[in-house]
Structure 1
């Protein structure tokens, strides 16, 4: 698995977007989150990738000042009540943890999490103990992660031991009592 494949797997995660509509109010574009009904200024998302429902299809683009969206070859301007999606950001400690996993461990972790109906974007807490070990030769410990998909909670303990071999063990526990353990050992 290369970096491009990792990006693809992350791109197709469920709940990776905040979806809502926009309105022009007081000389500013305002985004209304359809789930939480919270309002935020579109200026907060300038130069970020967004998706807009355009001609009944989701189109990727970048948002610029004045409600301009660059779709690559074309540019369009926001209209009142346009439906848009803004990609969520991962919790920094989770992002660093995922970057540090081997390709096999990364794939097994993400696909196992998905099989339990959770997305990496459902992470509400991540303690990444690996970050505190720096450049030590022997690295072992446990990372703690909590995911919330609005229906259930999932606690993940990531036991790791990196020295002569690379050992990643993920213990998933859902609040319903369902449990799953996966382990990846490589030399």
Structure 2
């Protein structure tokens, strides 16, 4: 049974999944200005990536085919000065690898618990993925470490895993406020 739509649906609904800002054409170059940090980034850095433009009171998703042109299906949208743009943030590679390697139930429980604490997977500052260093041995066990920052609080997550005769995923969430939460998923 394929659960990919469930995972992708969960990624779609994550808070702070996008970098939003406006674009301007300066000296024949399109420049993206991050609305939060005011950092200037050349739009050509987003070529062939999914980009959204705000038009007619809604976000239109497409691929930045060439600077200044967004392909939305068979349509081509010409970008204009001061258009509102948003670009999906990239997950930290080690976190992406970790999320891809855990089973569906553990993934769902981890992400929904993280979200219930008002954090997003896109808030990850650091991820140590010990699982990625283990060879294809039958028995895998250890701990992964993640740190998340949502601008209001910090959350440290320890993922204790044991994959052998039984599968065990235990996530320990600790916030800088002292609040702690532990969830565990066991599969025989």
Please report the TM-score for the alignment, with normalisation by the length of structure 2: 0.98
Instruction: Report the alpha carbon displacement of residue 52 of structure 1 after superposing the two structures with TM.
Output: 0.6
| Corresponding residue pairs, total | 187
* 1:3 equivalenced with 2:4 (yes/no): yes
Instruction: Report the alpha carbon displacement of residue 73 of structure 1 after superposing the two structures with TM.
Output: 3.3
* Aligned position for 1:131: 132
* Aligned position for 1:107: 108
Partner SS for 1:60: strand
What is the distance in 2 between the residues matched to 1:111 and 1:74?
A: 36
Partner SS for 1:154: strand
* Aligned position for 1:162: 163
* Aligned position for 1:68: 69
Residue-by-residue CA offset, 1:118-142 (whole Å, 9 max, x unaligned): 0000000000000111201111110
* Aligned position for 2:88: 87
What is the distance in 2 between the residues matched to 1:66 and 1:82?
A: 13
Residue-by-residue CA offset, 1:143-168 (whole Å, 9 max, x unaligned): 00000001110000000011000000
In structure 1, stretches of 5+ residues that fail to align are none
RMSD of Structure 2 on Structure 1 (CA): 0.8
Partner SS for 1:37: coil
Instruction: Report the alpha carbon displacement of residue 76 of structure 1 after superposing the two structures with TM.
Output: 1.1
* Aligned position for 1:58: 59
Instruction: Report the alpha carbon displacement of residue 66 of structure 1 after superposing the two structures with TM.
Output: 3.7
What is the distance in 1 between the residues matched to 2:52 and 2:61?
A: 4
Q: Is the 8 A contact 2:47 2:67 kept in 1?
A: no
In structure 2, stretches of 5+ residues that fail to align are none
Instruction: Report the alpha carbon displacement of residue 4 of structure 1 after superposing the two structures with TM.
Output: 1.5
What is the distance in 1 between the residues matched to 2:121 and 2:183?
A: 17
Instruction: Report the alpha carbon displacement of residue 64 of structure 1 after superposing the two structures with TM.
Output: 2.0
* Aligned position for 1:43: 44
* Aligned position for 1:176: 177
* Aligned position for 1:34: 35
Please report the TM-score for the alignment, with normalisation by the length of structure 1: 0.98
What is the distance in 2 between the residues matched to 1:134 and 1:148?
A: 31
What is the distance in 2 between the residues matched to 1:137 and 1:3?
A: 25
Residue-by-residue CA offset, 1:21-59 (whole Å, 9 max, x unaligned): 000001100000000000000000001001110111011
Instruction: Report the alpha carbon displacement of residue 14 of structure 1 after superposing the two structures with TM.
Output: 0.5
Hey, which bits of structure 1, 4+ residues long, moved more than 6 A? none
